[in-house]
Chain A
Amino acid sequence: MVSGMRGLLDWLQERLGTREQLTQFFYRHVPAGTGWLHTLGSAALLLILVQTVTGIFLAFYYVPSPEHAYDSLTYIQKEIPFGTFVRGLHYWGASLIVVVVFLHLLRVFFMGAYKYPRELSWVVGVFLFLLVMLFGFTGYLLPWDQKAYWATVIGTHIAGTAPLVGDYVWRILQGGEEVGVRTLGRFYTAHVLILPAILYGFILIHLAMVIYQGIAPTPRRGLDVIKNQDYARLYEASKEKGETFLEHLFRDGVVFFLLFLFLVWIAVTWSVPLEDVADPTDTQYVPRPEWYFYFLFELLWLFWGKWVPVATFYIPLAGVVLLFLLPFYDRTPGRSPLRRPLASGLATATVAAMAFLTYQGATAPLPPAATIAQEAKALPPELAKGMEVYDGQGCSACHVVKGRGTAAGPDLSRIGASRDKEWLKRFLKNPSAVKPGSPMPPYQQLPDEQMDALVGYLASLQ
């Protein structure tokens, strides 16, 4: 066996010079300080491979048409052995990749690894990051359930707010005037053919660059500031002190294996959401995007009326452009995050803002639902009546009471503690007279009896 292996290697060596190539590849030195944080890129790559494999297997049974997509998914989950597991790996794997790719981006940013001579690796990396997000966006239409359909309606609407070309982009994305059979065809083709081809192309370029240039130096003492003309010398010196790539590969292997086990654990223990089949005529559905788009979805709260494109177009565009061009406007020699406080500070603030918006999205109150009738039963009759008015007048479309509603306006869970009935009544009748500039619509046409019940109910919330 061993001699057979050796024979094969000799055979290859004679023709391709394999031994030298492998030696050069595995025993090249990585710079000193290369450690566990440097495993995120390879972890992302290996997770993408898992995604590719599970995706190919899902394609054996999935049918990309509005009539059959949902049923084919139900079939995969209910009838195909390991169906739920395979879909679970693919579904949760997508989220895991977003996390790992984002952490990889942060690692590269904070270690200044995008600086000379690796500017192009960064640019290609940003492409890869956007491709991963596009995979998410195109992928979640495919189940053709309610979430899929409505998230895509919103996604294409957002694309439609682009200036000048918005309407064309919108229709070309959808394949027509609404999200339908051609949209699914487009998203499917993009998800399984176009994006993978581009993704692997860019991955090869990204890897070729890393192999050609080597892993970026860790910005430790002596390397925290590197002038371009000193780079080659300092980098070689750092590699002298570093381990071999084979030793680093061990860390890569351990980290990926742990992530993989984590993914398997999730796929086994968590169920994969599949909502009801898409219904474009449903006007009770509350659309929510996938968690990694929460920051964009929550950003939409902040810009009203004619300013809507700021949130849907200009801020995302500015973000992408700033990300792409980072190595070209930030050409300071500092590499350690401590040696470039402005860059580190701005990046930390951006990440904090994104994290905050994501948290807001994740903890958004539950949509107003049918449990209200039950809750009303537990209340004294006059308060129950007020609650019915609250519900009937659609107050929960803008206000939250005890974790239910939409947080457009103030949370009213404890409104009675700060406002009395008199004030509440005056405010409801004409909000902008009491609080100039209040966006709340007036309720003066509400019959007195209902108004009193509503005010009584609100005052009771303490």
Chain B
Amino acid sequence: MADEKNDVLLLPPSRRRFIATMLTVISGAIASILGVPLAGFFALPALRRPERRWLEVGPVSDFAQGEIKKVLAKSLAAQVWPYEIPPVAIFVQNQGGGSFALYYIHCTHVGCPVRWSSQAGRFFSPCHGGVFDKEGRVLAGPPPRPLDRYEYKIEKSVLYAGRIYEVNEKLEFTRWYQA
């Protein structure tokens, strides 16, 4: 309830509206002039897809047919910073006939590192009992899909790993990893 004293202090509605609008416009302008670049500064490096970079896995002759071998692949991309990219672990399987399967080492459940047991012929995750066969299909445990794989190419008898992709139970490409 407005008494007489308050009525004296209140500004005319048009004036009040004008001030409120101006303050909103000024705050909005400051927020966007600062906010847009800062949002880009924060999020774009994370969302930007690096140029398709290949990892050097090694000479094809290093991989006996049927065997699965863990290799540390080197990045070939010129790096701005940090100067040294750490090597990337990949499970490589020579499937014969020039065909390879390159498995991402992270379990498809919540990302624990799977280990390859050549005796068992299976991949095991140490966290929640995920088991994969030697083609990466889920045999047991919670993983929602087979092991993710790298695209690959062979140039001058050297094997290179590219982007990571997800496959379905039939081991067909479904989508790029983190697409």
Q: Which A residues contact B (CB, under 8 angstroms)?
A: 65-67, 150, 153-154, 156-158, 160-161, 167-168, 170-177, 180-182, 280-287, 297, 300-301, 303-306, 308, 312, 367, 392-394, 397-398, 406-409, 439-441, 445
Shortest C-beta distance, A67 to chain B (Å), equals 7
Please state if A175 and B112 are interface contacts (CB–CB under 8 Å). Answer: no
Given A181-B82, A308-B144, decide whether A175 and B45 contact each other with a Cβ distance below 8 A: yes
Number of interface residues of B (CB under 8 A): 46
Name 28 A/B residue pairs within 8 A (Cβ), A-sorted: A67-B82, A153-B106, A154-B127, A172-B42, A172-B46, A172-B47, A176-B45, A181-B82, A280-B88, A281-B87, A281-B89, A283-B70, A283-B105, A283-B113, A287-B126, A301-B142, A303-B142, A304-B142, A305-B143, A305-B144, A306-B144, A312-B110, A397-B126, A397-B129, A398-B129, A398-B141, A406-B126, A406-B129
Q: From DSSP, what is the main secondary structure of chain A's interface residues?
A: loop
Write the chain A residue with the least CB distance to B86: A280
How far does the Cβ of B154 sit from chain A's closest Cβ, in whole Å?
23
Measured between alpha carbons, how far is A374 from B14 in the docked complex, in Å? 88
Q: Is there an interface contact between A171 and B47, defined as CB atoms closer than 8 Å?
A: yes
For residue B156, give the distance in angstroms from its CB to the closest CB of chain A: 25
- A312: chain B residues within 8 A (beta carbon): 110
Which of B43, B72, B142 has its CB near the most chain A CB atoms (within 10 A)?
B142
Question: Which residues from chain B contact A181 at a C-beta distance below 8 Å?
Answer: 82
Closest to B71 in A: A281
Within 8 Å CB of A308, what residues of B?
109-110, 142, 144
Is B140 interfacial (CB-CB < 8 Å)? yes
The answer on a CB contact under 8 Å between B142 and A392 is: no
Interface residues of B in 124-173 (CB under 8 A from A): 124-129, 131, 133, 138-144
What 3 A-B pairs are tightest by C-beta distance, nearest first? A408-B129, A392-B119, A157-B111
**Is there contact, CB below 8 Å, between B142 and A176?**
no
Judging by beta carbons under 8 Å apart, are A160 and B178 in contact? yes
| Chain B residues within an 8 Å CB radius of A367 | 126
| B46, A174: Cβ atoms closer than 8 Å | yes
CB distance from B86 to the nearest CB of A (A): 6
Contact yes or no, A167 B128, CB < 8 A: no
State in angstroms the CA–CA spacing of A305 and B43 once bound together.
31
CA distance A279 to B140 in the complex (A): 27
- Which partner residue on chain B sits nearest A157 by CB separation? B111
A282 to B113, CA, bound (A): 7
A281 x B72 contact (CB < 8 A): yes
Give bound CA distance, A285 to B113, whole Å: 7
